[in-house]
Amino acid sequence: MDVDSDAVASDPEASEDEIITAQKVLQTLEEAWLNEKFCPELLPHQSDVVECMMEQVQQMEDNIRRLPRGDFRVVVHRLELDRIRYVTSNYLRLRLEKIEAFTAHILERENDLSPGECRFAREYLAHLETHLRHLALRHMPTNIQDLDHNNITAKPNTSSFVFLRVKGELI
């Protein structure tokens, strides 16, 4: 990316004063995306990284608008922007898929969710319960009509195989 010299965000693992580049933010977002993609459970949300990358995308779009139309760099930068948008939207889509699949289980660990995701999960669970009550439970005997989340909660398969790649020497 052409904008490495611009300081864009504070690293959540580092001190508040340390500034990281757009390339580092993108690398962190891609790592979070791949981790989310291959992990059966919902990982803690990287809202700072997503917000920072979206701000960077907006700045890049502004820079592209200033370039002349025939400039070859416009095509390359637009391609890079499309790639960044794909990674960001796929990361968020994966999180929503996991929230929809394991809503009750995930709501037990609300600290892994962003405020918007938490609100979505609560509303989704409420709508799901309402739908289930109106569709099926009202036609069943009264002793079966109780919804016990502990008995019907879907949980991620945490006993499946996971493949790892070491990024550096451990010793």
Instruction: Please write the tens of the pLDDT for every residue from 75-94.
Output: 899 999 999 999 999 999 99
Q: Is the pLDDT of residue 44 over 90?
A: yes
Q: What is the pTM of this model?
A: 0.77
Lowest-confidence pick of 21-35, 61-75, 76-90, 143-157: 143-157
Cβ within 8 Å of residue 40, ≥6 positions away: 156, 157, 158, 160
Residue 141 backbone dihedrals phi, psi, to 5 degrees = -60, 150
Q: At 149, is the pLDDT very low, low, confident or very high (cuts 50, 70, 90)?
A: low
More confident residue, 13 or 78: 78
What is the Cα gyration radius of the chain?
A: 21
Which alpha helices (DSSP H) does the chain contain, by range?
A: 22-38, 47-66, 72-101, 103-107, 115-135, 149-152
Q: At 2, is the pLDDT very low, low, confident or very high (cuts 50, 70, 90)?
A: very low
Q: At 157, is the pLDDT very low, low, confident or very high (cuts 50, 70, 90)?
A: confident
Domains with residue ranges and CATH for the chain: 7-152 (1.20.58.1030)
Which pLDDT does position 170 carry in this prediction? 78
Which pLDDT does position 154 carry in this prediction? 78
Q: Which two tokens stand for residue 116?
A: 């918007």
The Cβ of residue 39 has, within 10 Å, a number of other Cβ atoms equal to 14
- Rounded-to-integer distance, Cα 48 and Cα 50, Å: 6
- Rounded-to-integer distance, Cα 88 and Cα 33, Å: 8
Which pLDDT does position 29 carry in this prediction? 96
Q: Is the pLDDT of residue 145 over 70?
A: no
What's the whole-number mean pLDDT along residues 137-145? 70
